[in-house]
Amino acid sequence: MPANLRQKIWSFALIVLFFGGWEVFCLASGMSDLILPRPSQVFETLYNRFPVLWPHIIRTISTTLGGFALGVALGVVLGALIGVSRVAYDTAYPLLIGFSSIPKVAVVPIFVLWFGSGEVPAILTSIAICFFPIVVNIATGLATTEPELEDVLKVWGASKFDILWNVGLPRTMPFFFASLKVAITYAFVGTVLAETVASNRGIGNVMMSASSNFDVPLVFVGLFILAGLGVLLYVVFSLVEGRVTGWATRKNDIAAA
């Protein structure tokens, strides 16, 4: 525990050091705040404009969570379908890789073309960007069940479903939660991406209009909010992960329970 605490203190110190260094650098070099505003200016802007920013934050979060939820659902279904058989896994993999290699910025205009600007393309973009790690992790978790264990289960007369239910899915949980942490940040990126391209609301949109007004501190406010939200969502899923799949991390506090 002390080691854990010390690490937390160091992490915090690093963050303080980062912003402190940035502040000092700006002051010392006399950098214009049109190019790089000081962190203190950014926080000040954040504080002053917060009432105006709040609806945008809500919009970005709701879009992200919506896209994330749908992306996870899609990812789980596809991952389970692909992971159940080795053949399906090998067959579908090239297509998935191809799809995941498409830069999602290139897809946003298509979504806008189909659905107009607004929330729908943002949700679709975040689905498109976040479902892939889920598919891969679920499929891999299912496909890598130890063959010996599968033999033992088959000899007991277990059906495919029995194996999936008792071994496959529980085994996949650590992979699944690891992928959730990645997917939530991806979903976030997808949302903001679509908001910057075609939307009238959301943090991405705020940043776009701020930069066209040369309101650089506000652009940085957007960045800070995004970073903060990203960390927040990551932490939430880490906590859930720790509760559900503690067995995979072999922490000593489970031993005591």
- Report CA-CA distances (Å) from 30 to 22, 27, 40, 41, 138: 12, 5, 15, 14, 51
Closer residue to another protein in complex, CB, 117/245: 245
Q: Residues 21-30, buried b or exposed e (16+ Cβ, 10 A)?
A: ebeeebeeee
Where does this chain bind another protein (CB under 8 A)? 146, 148-149, 151-158, 162, 166-167, 170-171, 173, 245, 247-248, 250, 254-255
Q: Which residue type occupies 244?
A: V
Closer residue to another protein in complex, CB, 94/157: 157
Residue 247 corresponds to which tokens in the numbers above? 């067995």
Cα distance between residue 189 and residue 81, in whole Å:
27
Least Cβ distance, residue 221 to another protein (angstroms): 44
Q: Residue 156: what are its φ and ψ, rounded to 5°? A: -75, -5
Closer residue to another protein in complex, CB, 103/147: 147
Closer residue to another protein in complex, CB, 118/170: 170
Least Cβ distance, residue 178 to another protein (angstroms): 15
Least Cβ distance, residue 166 to another protein (angstroms): 7
CB contact set of 116 (below 8 Å; sequence gap of 6+): none
Q: Which helix (H) or strand (E) holds 231?
A: helix 216-244
Least Cβ distance, residue 85 to another protein (angstroms): 17
Closer residue to another protein in complex, CB, 5/250: 250
Least Cβ distance, residue 157 to another protein (angstroms): 6
